Chain A
Amino acid sequence: MSPWLALAIWLLVVATIIPVMGMAIGYAEMKISAHMQSRIGPYFAGGRFGWAQLIADGVKFFQKEDLVPENADRPVFKMAPVLVMVGTVGLFVVIPFGPGLTPQNLDLGIFYALAISSVGTIGVLMAGWSSGNKYSLMGGLRAAGQLIAYELPLVLAVVGVVILAGTMSLDGIVQAQISWFSEAGWSLGMPFVIVQAVGLGVFFVASLAELSRIPFDMPIAESELVMGYLTEYSGFRFLFFFLAEFANMFTLSAIAATLFLGGYWVPGVPDSILQFVGPLVLLGKIALFIFVSIWVRWTFPRFREDQLQTLAWKWLVPISLANIIVTGVLKVVL
């Protein structure tokens, strides 16, 4: 297969996954939150269970006028959603969906993923500044402070897994979990969550903050800032931010599942079957993370700005550093 054809196929897959997953997660969020609050949630669109609600919402966004405020900085305002999307789409490059089903198995794997996802922060700041609106600017500033604070624990939490696996390639990390104890002739797998539970905890909290979801949604706190850096966006460009947020939830959950839960792997299933079942297994593990983050969102109140910074700098960073030291020492001793 020529590289261009392969590229076209992968692009098509990603261009399908992002809106479909975005809508699926959006629908799950509506339904789960409704049931947690003893409501029914979307009910009528599509006939049963309101399954077409998000499709109707998407069509609505396309019909809306693409407004740009009078004193906005037009080119920057229009570029911002694209840049946010770049950080999201770039993550799909390294996620292993099954044995041999990694779009591009980079040697740098997880490092690349963390680097490309940090590009979105610039997009958020651009959106906040270029809107020419004080609420947007405050939202952008809060977002920048928060994303910088939580990027550090996010990166540090991964280091423990990298030490254990001895590689940064995501495919290599899955392989390391599949054959953790391997003697002549047989091997026994172990998902890294068993020894890296602390790392998973830090990674999960930090990724919630990176996504600015409740309880970390100070940047778009609607009771104070209207909608933060999203205030002035409408129609198609708002849809871009919306889809990027949900697709980001998907990719960060996929990375968490790959690093800590063994990715596409289930114990006792040979590679020949995993090739077909692998993506579904990964999807199941992703769904677990997404459910927990929706659960957290509808359970906890919003953090105050100082509590948010305290949690990042005084708790998560020291915990993840201690985790690295303990993991490193045990790796050398054992």
Chain B
Amino acid sequence: MGFEDWAAEPLNWVFLAVALATTISGLRVVTSPNVVHAALFLVAALAGTAAIFLLLAAEFLAWVLVLVYIGAVIVLFLFGIMITRAPTGRDEAEVDHQRRLPALLVSAALFALLSWGLLSQWGDTTLDGITAGTPTSVLAEGLLGRFVFPFEVVGFVLLAALVGGITIARRDLSPAEERERESR
């Protein structure tokens, strides 16, 4: 496909803008000196990812990303950061790890692996006839019909992780402390 063809399709330009914004926000997440700024750039990066899903007509996935990640996970991140330390301006604590080379190697390897996987699987395949997103009912049938077993297993693993997290974080009172608490 030549540049002429590429430029004639307005969606390509939208994709370019969204992809650039997402990449830049993603870079700023790891380079930003202020930890709250990093979390906010993560919001921008996730919003960009959701926009790319929208461009791919995967509406459900896009809004799941907004509801779960932007609406809940990042809010919990910010909550955790602010409840511990939240200086405005320059953060005194060192956020940077000074391990840039290993990080670069790992991310380059991951990028290569993902690109190789995608290209070897699909290569030049063009998907025709995708104009609207999958109806939610079809997704639901798939999730609770054909894939119900993996779906439940993932749910179970998450529940186990949750219980484990609470067990680690929670400290049971010793009998003496218990008595002191009751007498108060």
Contact = CB atoms under 8 A, between A and B. Distances in A.
A147 B137 CA distance: 29
B82 to A, nearest CB: 6
Contacts of A115: 63-64, 66-67, 71
B82 A128 contact: yes
Contact of B86 (A108, A116, A129): A129
B82 A119 contact: no
B75 A122 contact: yes
B88 interface: yes
B168 interface: no
Interface of A: 71-73, 76, 106-108, 111-112, 114-116, 118-119, 121-122, 125-126, 128-130, 132, 137, 140-141, 144-145, 147-148, 151, 155, 167-168
B82 A168 contact: no
Nearest to A120: B71
Nearest to A114: B67
Contacts of A107: 59, 133, 135-136
B70 interface: yes
Interface of B: 36-37, 40, 43, 59-60, 63-64, 66-67, 70-72, 74-76, 78-79, 82-83, 86, 88-89, 133, 135-137
A118 B72 contact: yes
A71 B86 CA distance: 13
A108 B57 CA distance: 12
A155 B88 CA distance: 34
Contacts of A155: 67
B68 to A, nearest CB: 9
Given A112-B63, A118-B66, A71 B88 contact: yes
Nearest to A155: B67
Contacts of B135: 107
Contact of A129 (B78, B136, B137): B78
Contact of A73 (B60, B64, B88): B88
A129 B88 contact: yes
A116 B66 contact: yes
A111 B74 CA distance: 19
Contact of B78 (A119, A144, A151): A144
Given A118-B71, A119-B70, A148-B75, 11 more contacts: A107-B136, A111-B63, A111-B136, A115-B64, A119-B66, A121-B75, A122-B43, A125-B75, A141-B83, A148-B79, A151-B71
B88 A125 contact: no
A144 B36 CA distance: 15
B90 to A, nearest CB: 10
